[in-house]
Structure 1
Amino acid sequence: MNSPQPTKIHRPEPSRAIDIGAVTERVPMYTQEFAQNPHDYFQFMRRHYNDLPLIPVWIAEGIPATLAIKYETARRILHDPTHFPSDPRNWQRKLPRDRRLDFLPMVEWRSNALRSNGDSPEHKRYREATQYALSKVNQFALQDEVEIQAHNLINAFCAEGATPDQPLDLIQHYIAPLTFTILNYMVGSPPDIMMRIAKASADLFEGQDTEQTNAQFDSALLDLITLRRAAPGDDLTTRLITHESQLTDAEIVQQLVTCLSAGTQGPADLAASTIKLLLTTPLHERPMTKTALNQTLATDPPMANYQITYPKQPIAVDGVWLPADEPVIVSLMACCTDPTVNNGDYHSDGWHAGFGFGPHECPKDAKSSSLQIVEGLIDWLFDILPDVQLAVPEEALVWRPGPFAHGLLSLPVTFPRTPPMMPTRRSENSQYSG
């Protein structure tokens, strides 16, 4: 890695905390180099800033923020919604209006739990509705549906095989369509509406035009809500509609934006990164799938740098003065690879923060469904194609640029021609009831 230029920090007095607001040069998080080498950057941050827990960064050219890279510091911040609220509107009003800000769809205010302060009535209302909708997912039917869809997708390409000259991109042909199909069933969406939702979700993660992305989401999700109001089903959308919190259609749209954007790209990125880990580990040293998932959630989590708060007023934290209304981003990746926390034991998932901290931590039922989908996706791939191999050197893989999410653009593999395999069991109904 070409190390970033040293950041210039104004130190008013030796006895006082470092003033992040006085920084003139910061570490850029929006470059392709950062996406390719985040761990090298975190090592640089720890070394150059004398192990400070909070680092001055750019999330886009000219847009400053602070990155929390120490586990305990991040925990304290995210468990203190009084001093560190999650509502971005004060900061958002100060953003430049004379240029396009590709990161904005990922961080702008929405009427959902993620962008509501963790101690507010709005957060409680939105969170309870979403948790209720997720808690009713039939995990046994979900497991069956993952198996069926995994077999269908693998059977479509396994007989042809894949060679170094003609590799197969697992993300394009297997991972993305499987996660898309499963979420389609869970939210109760017909394929035509879900295709529009998937496009909007991809644009959100890839930093496309804010107005266009939001318009795509609104149009598709309002059509879905109208459909489910007329014909209720056993699905996430219907449960949000009928929940006692009596969400408006606009509020339901925003809860679904959170579920869908996290539920499609997040599991897809987690699956691809975990398969990459398994394929780059010698066969005799490969961990079990659950252990590999724990390792990926700790070292390469899909939402690598995301949980964002905005201090109400200037505040000192662990030797650093943070300015008011400027983003403090928690790097879940840096926190979980913090040498004071990570001892290399990934058999237990009780310590890592791959799903976040505090009141905005991923709901437990969302975690269980996501992990079930990803674990089934991975296990069926290696069961049916045990000789699958990475088609390129690990260092040739390209990661999607951006300051927040962490995911591969493609995962090319090879495998010998393999006869199709039928699922061993099938749900009573051909349609999954989510």
Structure 2
Amino acid sequence: MCGYLAVTYPAALHLLRNNPAIFSKDPAHWQALRLGHVPLDSPALMMMQPRDNALWKDGPAHTRLRRAITNAVTQVDTHKLAASVIQIADQLIDAFSHTGQADLVAQYSDPLPMLAVIGMFGCSQDEGRNIVSLVTRLFDGSDPEQANRDLEAACLQLTRAKRDAPGRDVASHLIEADLTDEEMVQTIILVIGAAAPPTSNLIGNGIRRVLTDPSFAGSVHDGVRPVSDALDEVLWDNPPVPNYSPLYAIGPQSYEGVLLPPGEPILVSFAAANSDPALAVDPSARAGNKGHLAFSAGAHACPAPDLARLIAETALGRLLDRLPDVDLAVPSAELHNRPGTFLAGLTALPVRFQPEARLIPHGR
């Protein structure tokens, strides 16, 4: 079993912008999968297998399923979402602010987007936590076969609950697009998978950037540079999803003298493409520059990058407002990234700060 990895910025754009003309997203083209050569417990299988959602479709099928997603997410009230993120942030910070120390991955950046997405889908916290934790297990490659079975069962349960009692939420809006149960299950997996774990990593890496990069640490706290600058830097040089978006050549193709045979997956390394030495973007000019590929490009680009940015910026800004003296509790070299190919996030982010007095919790 083999494949290719696009690591330059032009190569990544060539692949992404020529879908579906000469590169397909449909895993039915994956020769090793057709021949049964991909082990059932392979993390790559769970992340690249055929699913009835927009990510793995081309042409009219992709257009129909993507339209259902864009119609659903565009109905999200961004003002209410921002207010919800602030409330969630305050509740999470209230739980540890009096202690003077915390792990901002486990206690903040991981749960915050999960709770925000749960609210967008109108499901209970227990249902939402279960779905997001299973999606994260898929990304991390932790028992992916069982995680996938459990995840599909949980999303089917949510689908049936929303069919019985629809509301004004993303899941209910997807149902309005006449998606089948299977399409609903796989679309929920896609939307939550794209919204929660990557945004968790963006928040965690954004906090790390503010606390470790001298060009941000002082100025962000002083209010000279917005937190959006820190997030732009992360999206450029440490994107939350560093490698993904498998494509398949439709017939023999070549690029820059490299033969790309049909049947072999070609993954895009967003992280490598963003740091391509031939890309004339000075690191000091990345703030405000949206030319990065962290949200992909072409027909399958992220349909709602602004929602992810809103959640991340609000979460990071609220943390710095509440804990302006927060600092790392360990040397930067002792921070470690999650294992796995598809996600780039920290395993832990220990910090210390001046404890807040135990007063009436914020927002209550």
- The TM-score bracket by the shorter chain reads over 0.9
Secondary structure in 2 matching 1:64? coil
Q: What corresponds to 1:223 in structure 2?
A: 157
Q: What corresponds to 1:10 in structure 2?
A: none
Q: Work out the CA distance in 2 between the residues paired with 1:382 and 1:361.
A: 31
Structure 2 residue 77 is the aligned partner of structure 1 residue 138: yes
Q: What corresponds to 1:241 in structure 2?
A: 175
Q: Alpha carbons of 1:347 and 1:149: their partners in 2 closer, same or farther (altered >3 Å)?
A: same
Structure 1 position 192, deviation (Å) = 2.4
Secondary structure in 1 matching 2:245? strand
Name the one with the larger helix percent.
Answer: 2
1:222-274 CA-to-partner distances (Å, cap 9, x unmatched) read: 1111111121111000000012xx21011011111011111110100011111
Alignment of 1:112-261 (within 5 A): 112-117=53-58, 120-162=59-101, 168-243=102-177, 246-261=178-193
Q: Work out the CA distance in 1 between the residues paired with 2:300 and 2:151.
A: 22
* Alignment check: 8 A CA contact 1:295 1:346 kept: yes
Structure 2 residue 245 is the aligned partner of structure 1 residue 307: yes
* Alignment check: 8 A CA contact 2:94 2:361 kept: no
Secondary structure in 2 matching 1:160? coil
Structure 1 position 98, deviation (Å) = 5.4
Q: Alpha carbons of 1:334 and 1:95: their partners in 2 closer, same or farther (altered >3 Å)?
A: farther
1:143-185 CA-to-partner distances (Å, cap 9, x unmatched) read: 11111111111011101112xxxxx211111111211111111
Q: 1:415 aligns with which of 349, 353, 360?
A: 353
Q: What corresponds to 1:3 in structure 2?
A: none
* Alignment check: 8 A CA contact 1:155 1:421 kept: no
* Alignment check: 8 A CA contact 1:87 1:116 kept: yes
Q: What corresponds to 1:329 in structure 2?
A: 267
Alignment of 1:352-431 (within 5 A): 352-363=292-303, 366-419=304-357
Q: Work out the CA distance in 2 between the residues paired with 1:409 and 1:313.
A: 41
Secondary structure in 2 matching 1:159? coil
Report the count of equivalent residues.
353
Match of 1:130, as an amino acid? Answer: I
1:279-338 CA-to-partner distances (Å, cap 9, x unmatched) read: 102233554211111111111001111121011222110121112111111111111111
Secondary structure in 2 matching 1:329? strand
* Alignment check: 8 A CA contact 1:66 1:327 kept: yes
Q: Work out the CA distance in 1 between the residues paired with 2:360 and 2:318.
A: 11
Q: Give percent identity, aligned residues only.
A: 34
Secondary structure in 1 matching 2:355? coil
1:95-141 CA-to-partner distances (Å, cap 9, x unmatched) read: 52556312321111111111112xx1110011000000000000000
* Alignment check: 8 A CA contact 2:242 2:344 kept: yes
Q: What corresponds to 1:13 in structure 2?
A: none
Q: Work out the CA distance in 2 between the residues paired with 1:312 and 1:358.
A: 17
Secondary structure in 2 matching 1:103? helix
1:174-202 CA-to-partner distances (Å, cap 9, x unmatched) read: 11121111111101111222132122112
Secondary structure in 1 matching 2:70? helix
Structure 2 residue 8 is the aligned partner of structure 1 residue 67: no
- What is the RMSD of the two structures over their aligned residues, measured on CA atoms? 1.8
Q: Alpha carbons of 1:105 and 1:97: their partners in 2 closer, same or farther (altered >3 Å)?
A: closer
Match of 1:177, as an amino acid? Answer: P
Q: Work out the CA distance in 2 between the residues paired with 1:362 and 1:65.
A: 24
Q: 1:102 aligns with which of 32, 43, 47?
A: 43
| Structure 1: segments with no counterpart, 5+ residues | 1-62, 163-167, 427-434
* Alignment check: 8 A CA contact 2:46 2:144 kept: yes
Secondary structure in 1 matching 2:98? helix
Secondary structure in 2 matching 1:316? strand
Q: What corresponds to 1:349 in structure 2?
A: 289
Bigger CA drift: 389-398 or 246-255?
Answer: 389-398
- TM-score, structure 1 length as denominator? 0.78
* Alignment check: 8 A CA contact 1:292 1:346 kept: no
Q: Work out the CA distance in 2 between the residues paired with 1:274 and 1:94.
A: 42
* Alignment check: 8 A CA contact 1:193 1:223 kept: no
* Alignment check: 8 A CA contact 1:68 1:74 kept: yes
Structure with greater Cα Rg: 1
* Alignment check: 8 A CA contact 1:151 1:422 kept: no
Structure 1 position 421, deviation (Å) = 7.4
Structure 1 position 211, deviation (Å) = 3.2
1:340-371 CA-to-partner distances (Å, cap 9, x unmatched) read: 223221222331111001111001xx211111
* Alignment check: 8 A CA contact 2:140 2:343 kept: no
Structure 1 position 78, deviation (Å) = 1.0
Q: Alpha carbons of 1:158 and 1:208: their partners in 2 closer, same or farther (altered >3 Å)?
A: same
